[in-house]
Amino acid sequence: MTNQIAKRFKTQLTVASVLMVTLISGCASKVDVLDEQKTINEFVASAAVADQLSGADETNWWHALKSEQLNQLVSDALAKNYDLKTSQLVLKSALARLGEQKAQYLPQGGVEVGAQRSGLGDTNSRQSSANFALDWQLDLFGRVTALVDAANASAMSQAEQVRLLQIEVVSAVVKGFVSYQGNAEKQRIISLQIQALEQSIDVLQARVDEGVASELDLNRTLAQLRQQQALIPAIEFAKYSDLSTLAVLTGRLTQNIELTNELSVLRNKFDVTLSKPNAAIALRPDISRAIYDFSQANSLSVAASKALLPDVSLSGFAGVLSLGSNGFSDTQQQWQIAPKLQWSILSYPALLAQRDAQQFLSEAAYSDYQNVVLKALSESELSLQGLVNQAQQKRFADERYDFANKAFLQAEAMYEEGQIPYLELLDARQDVLIAQENAVETTILSLLAKVNAYQSFNGQWSYALSNTNK
């Protein structure tokens, strides 16, 4: 499977560049988002980026690590992350503005009730009135509809931004947790290396005192000890950095987050499988958001074009007027209906410039939409390549550890039989600890590569996550 994937990577981006021009084309007066998404599905299916990953449903994929700590961290982040809260509030604002824009279909106006008393010399007069006035903008040419479409696309784009943030938050939490557990394991191994070096130094010091060993070996071993001891502060800082990242993601202070070591996280079987690989790319929120941004720009361009046409409205009022009284005992009815046509002919140069500017913005949004699709495919392919490469590195590192461990066991047996000195046994032990540290490092990188793959192929599981948190 590795060779098959590697061969596909050489041609996928070229195929994507050619098909993008033929499959994604044209701008209509109103962008059909469902049709665009169908086109993207067909385009991704033809690219066949990740068919080899077909398998189980990827919803809640981090549960495969079998860590209650991690599951709780993800839940806390989705509920308490401040970036998510901010984006969700912006979405509510966009939905409110959509409602405001839809209200433009309805007549605007209100009721006015008033009473007046005035005097001039010995003459006093009183009057009262009650009026109902309205002004109705008739959407004969579709300008209001275009503005409503733009507001709707803006709200949907913000909804996709929320989903995009959810993906980033979940992925960052998993990466931070895996990194912390990996650093904790590396710290344990370095501590064992330090113990082994200290034992070697004790033996070497005794041999130097007896005159059977040189101080050269002793000083070199001391230098190795200091090198390993210098790694401890760096590991401690790396663990604190992981905690700090997780604290920000879950909306708390670093001192308020505590994790226990879970070595099993590094050992659990954790494979990347996707129920619908093509949909996992086609439904990515960055692609959907680019579609809605293009739709918004296109609708605003249509609205700018409609501004060149006349505005037709209907205004009117109906009410009663009472003279000589502050009440409504003796009233006269009055009403008026006035159709109105307003055409800003003298403003045509400015309106034409606005239309041209908005059309360029629409073309720019369309170009960005195409670029986002290509980048999504490229990112997905790159994550698969990283998955393959890290799997190979992990296999070699694991084999290195197995050989080093066998060498240590052989050295241990030979030492017990008196065939080698104790110092060679300690060297063999040091080799196996270094190989073990390298194996842990490649295990961490392999897990992070798998998280990156799920982060890239996010279309399916992010929708499930978004629906769960509504």
Q: Work out the mean pLDDT of the chain and round it to a whole number.
A: 84
Per-residue pLDDT reduced to its tens digit, 37-96: 777 777 776 666 666 677 778 889 999 999 999 999 999 999 999 999 999 999 999 999
Burial of 417 (0-12, 13-18, 19+ CB in 10 A): exposed
Task: Enumerate the β-bridge partners of residue 332.
Answer: 321
Burial of 467 (0-12, 13-18, 19+ CB in 10 A): exposed
Residue 280 and residue 376: Cα distance in Å, rounded? 11
**Mean pLDDT of the 249-253 span:** 94
**Mean pLDDT of the 320-327 span:** 62
Task: Enumerate the β-bridge partners of residue 331.
Answer: 322
- Residues of 261-282 as b/e, b for ≥16 C-beta within 10 angstroms? ebeebbeeebebebebbbbbbb
Distances from the Cα of 182 to the Cαs of 74, 152, 449, in angstroms? 18, 45, 14
Are 445 and 44 within 8 A, CB to CB? Answer: no
Per-residue pLDDT reduced to its tens digit, 273-314: 888 888 888 889 999 999 999 999 999 999 898 888 888 888
What count of residues does the chain have? 470
Give the model's pLDDT for residue 243: 96
Q: Is the pLDDT of residue 18 over 50?
A: no
Q: Is the pLDDT of residue 12 over 50?
A: no
Residue 42 and residue 34: Cα distance in Å, rounded? 12
**Terminus-to-terminus CA distance in the chain, angstroms?**
39
Residue 52 and residue 54: Cα distance in Å, rounded? 6
**Closest residue by Cα to residue 47 from 1, 21, 8, 4:** 8
**Closest residue by Cα to residue 323 from 118, 69, 19, 16:** 118
Q: What percent of the chain has pLDDT over 70?
A: 87
Q: Given pLDDT bands bounded at 50, 70 and 90, which one contains residue 139?
A: confident
Q: Assign 312 to helix, strand or coil.
A: strand
- When mean pLDDT is compared across 27-41, 92-106, 227-241, the lowest value belongs to 27-41
Q: Given pLDDT bands bounded at 50, 70 and 90, which one contains residue 8?
A: very low
Give me the residue label for tokens 């990347």.
272
